[in-house]
Structure 1
Amino acid sequence: MNTRNKLPHYDVQPTLINEKASVSARRLMEYLCSIYGEKVLSGQQIGVIGHPEIEVIRETTGKYPAVYGFDFMNYTPSRVERGSTCEDTDIAIQWWKDGGIVTFCWHWNAPVGLIDIPPERSWDRGFYTEATTFNFAEAMADKESELFQLMVRDIDAIAQQLLRLQAEDVPVLWRPLHEASGEWFWWGAQGAAPCVELWKYMYHRLTDYYGLNNLIWVWNGQHDDWYPGDEYVDIIGEDIYAEKHDYSAQLDRFLQARSYSKGNKIITLSENGVIPAVSEMMKDDALWLWNCTWYGEFVYKRQGDHIRYSETYTQRQALIDFYNHPRTITREQLPNLILS
């Protein structure tokens, strides 16, 4: 696609921050940059328990989303030691082989200090600030401390899953430490400075120590104080949960996301409840590159033994219109991104 006719803020160079990025990662980034400002990738997050979202979308629209969102949450050591299991890595590998694009976030259960008082502060909510006493700023301040080493242990555990993906040549739109500025997650609870330091540490641990060259780094801190700098960010994401049936483009948030970078970065809707209408995005010149609708009630409801599409957030016709819009790309319309 010829980018010379694009508006200037959509003209993003496909240069990844990791100079050793894999061919598959560079190829994916080149594709993303080529369609940015012209097309919108449909996307959907996987459910933590059960995975009906993708099939509900297909049954409703006749198509699969282009981008599938996964979560490393249940690979976290403090969850594994309490019996959690996960198959997201395996599903993601197959999704890539089937022609889709993969994105991962990580609801990082605190390594220690889980309060474990149900329901709001139970151990399985240990990524929330209210559910743990873990002070990561204290850990970051002493790299020789047991607390810091426990954080490294957790990063290393997730590195093993990312290595599995790299072994299958799967490029990953990687979105760790998300929504930090909201401070509802522990990695944002002690302010911006230690969170930025943690982001940079994680980047170097995964990139330099583990040689993970299949990652495209999606920063989702949602406030300029939390921005680690253009040299540590490939793509900027915003998470927006609009009012029910509000199909507006969320222009203010799009412009806010653009303001973080000194140059041009791809801007994406890394989480959403309601899906903005493509016509609204075009009208406001706010073409988020992809959306990733959250799981569960945002997509389906159970009626007895049956699963039905839920119109609570995005009405059925609005979903169908989105998936069938000429500017929307579904999995069926993606080019072959797998190296032959």
Structure 2
Amino acid sequence: MKLNYFFIFFPVLFVNVVTAQQRKLIDPLATKETKALFKNLYKLSEKHTLFGHQHATEYGHGWFGDADRSDVKSVVNSHPAVIGIDLSELSGQPKAQVDKAKAHLKKNVIDTYNRGGVTTVAWHFSNPVSEGGFYWKDSVSLPAVKYIIPGGQGHGKYVEILNDIADWAKSLKAADGNLVPVIFRPYHEFDGDWFWWGKSHCTTDEFKSLWKFTVSYLRDTAGVHNFIYAFSPDNLFNTEQQYLERFPGNEWVDMLGMDNYGDMGRDGKYNLDAAIKKLRIVSAYAQKNGKLAAFTETGLESLKNPNWWNDVLLKVMKSDKIRMSYVLVWRNDAKSATHFYAPYPGHPSVSDFQKFYEDPYTLFEKDLKDIYK
């Protein structure tokens, strides 16, 4: 009997060992904590998904800047497991303002680390060569990608901006002496046209060049070793080939993601089958290539469907063959009465969100144990 048991299970064990060996960060010099986060997110995604909320601890519905507060914590007594921040203020501002933003974001990241949570970093990068901000504006925006890649006339300015990001990344030292790892997610939703780095504003080769240079400069030249690099188009694909159209290659990406509001109830339109199909494409590619996968942005503005958390989001996330390390919903604006994506005390979706919180599949900050070890 022992011999049979050995032969039945040996092939499975062998496959798992091979897969584990393939799962490596693209930075061979990544810090111990960054490697641990990568490994633990992958392991947790076998049976769970971490819940995330953009700007959760910076501000919320009707408040701004309160210590150790989030709308999510006010509803379920735990912060989200993943906190989203943004590097938008680290360029296009006077130096004093950039320095102030660096300090504010640094504190946020370290506080999250000290509580045992995870930070993901978006970058709504204001156009570095023209007016118009991060959105594309026909009358003023220039197609900046071709200007800032190597050989472009704005390349030197881009290097200066990357140096500021690198300095910030290397300043994220917690009280235990370790550099805090973060998930860095630049140039998101690049398959749409609404950002200056979008599909109609640069060629496929130009976008790949921008991605490769950004990663290479931060990692190899500036010495940033606490980043996990995430690639996240919007939902404008239906096949793996379409998803990978602007993918720079496995050696340049640690995490595969997707942003998807359009299939998840925006403007009252639901196409859950499409959302599931697209997440399966992301998940399958990630698993066969040793990458993390994540549902990097989603949500329903104003939560007009009070049962959205379980009837829509959890239903999609729990679908067969989907394995996501985290799902992140967008922010709760401090001033707007309607721009929010997570419940706050008194909102009609609170009871449904509490049920979502209690489901063993979802993980919040209180559920995380030693994710950096």
> Is TM > 0.5 for Structure 1 vs Structure 2?
yes
Between the aligned partners of 1:264 and 1:14, the Cα distance in structure 2 is: 4
What secondary structure is seen at the aligned counterpart in 2 of 1:187? coil
| TM-score (norm: length of structure 2) | 0.74
What does residue range 2-13 of structure 1 map to in structure 2 within 5 Å? 13=22
Between the aligned partners of 1:139 and 1:263, the Cα distance in structure 2 is: 32
Q: 1:237 maps to what in 2?
A: 257
What secondary structure is seen at the aligned counterpart in 2 of 1:337? coil
Between the aligned partners of 2:169 and 2:224, the Cα distance in structure 1 is: 7
Change (3 A) 1:301 1:321: farther
Q: Which moved more, 1:98-107 or 1:318-327?
A: 318-327
Change (3 A) 1:48 1:148: farther
Change (3 A) 1:35 1:61: same
Change (3 A) 1:141 1:39: closer
Between the aligned partners of 2:45 and 2:120, the Cα distance in structure 1 is: 17
What secondary structure is seen at the aligned counterpart in 2 of 1:238? strand
Q: What is the one-letter code of the residue matched to 2:182?
A: V
What secondary structure is seen at the aligned counterpart in 1 of 2:295? strand
Kept in 2: contact 1:40–1:327 (CA 8 A): yes
- The alpha-carbon deviation at position 321 of structure 1 amounts to 1.7
- The alpha-carbon deviation at position 166 of structure 1 amounts to 5.5
1:227 to 247, 266, 275: 247
- The alpha-carbon deviation at position 62 of structure 1 amounts to 2.2
1:113 aligns with 2:130: yes
RMSD: 3.3
Change (3 A) 1:173 1:194: same
What does residue range 105-184 of structure 1 map to in structure 2 within 5 Å? 105-115=122-132, 126-130=133-137, 132-140=140-148, 143=151, 145-165=152-172, 168-184=178-194
Between the aligned partners of 1:283 and 1:151, the Cα distance in structure 2 is: 41
| TM-score (norm: length of structure 1) | 0.81
Change (3 A) 1:248 1:320: farther
1:256 to 276, 281, 287: 281
Kept in 2: contact 1:36–1:289 (CA 8 A): yes
> Would you say how many aligned residue pairs link Structure 1 and Structure 2?
315
Between the aligned partners of 2:191 and 2:173, the Cα distance in structure 1 is: 30
Kept in 2: contact 1:300–1:308 (CA 8 A): no
Q: 1:215 maps to what in 2?
A: 227
Between the aligned partners of 1:210 and 1:32, the Cα distance in structure 2 is: 26
- The alpha-carbon deviation at position 142 of structure 1 amounts to 5.5
Give unmatched runs, 5+ long, in structure 1: 116-125
Q: What is the one-letter code of the residue matched to 2:370?
A: N
Q: 2:6 maps to what in 1?
A: none
1:63 to 78, 81, 93: 78
Q: Deviations over 1:151-190 (max 9, x none)?
A: 2222222122111125751011111111111121112221
2:291 to 265, 279, 289: 265
The structure having more radius of gyration, on CA atoms, is: 2
Between the aligned partners of 1:215 and 1:21, the Cα distance in structure 2 is: 8
1:39 aligns with 2:65: no
Q: Which moved more, 1:159-168 or 1:100-109?
A: 159-168
Change (3 A) 1:205 1:294: same
Q: Which moved more, 1:90-99 or 1:45-54?
A: 45-54
Q: 2:34 maps to what in 1?
A: 25
Change (3 A) 1:292 1:38: same
Q: 1:89 maps to what in 2?
A: 106
1:290 aligns with 2:326: yes
Q: 1:99 maps to what in 2?
A: 116
Kept in 2: contact 1:301–1:308 (CA 8 A): no
2:196 to 177, 186, 190: 186
Q: What is the one-letter code of the residue matched to 2:366?
A: E
2:93 to 53, 56, 79: 79
Q: Deviations over 1:52-110 (max 9, x none)?
A: 5952111112222111111011121x134695752222211111111111111111111
What secondary structure is seen at the aligned counterpart in 2 of 1:335? coil
Give unmatched runs, 5+ long, in structure 2: 1-11, 235-242, 301-308
Q: What is the one-letter code of the residue matched to 1:289?
A: S
Identical pairs, percent: 23
Change (3 A) 1:183 1:259: farther
Kept in 1: contact 2:48–2:361 (CA 8 A): yes
- The alpha-carbon deviation at position 251 of structure 1 amounts to 0.6
What does residue range 269-284 of structure 1 map to in structure 2 within 5 Å? 269-274=295-300, 275=309, 276-284=312-320
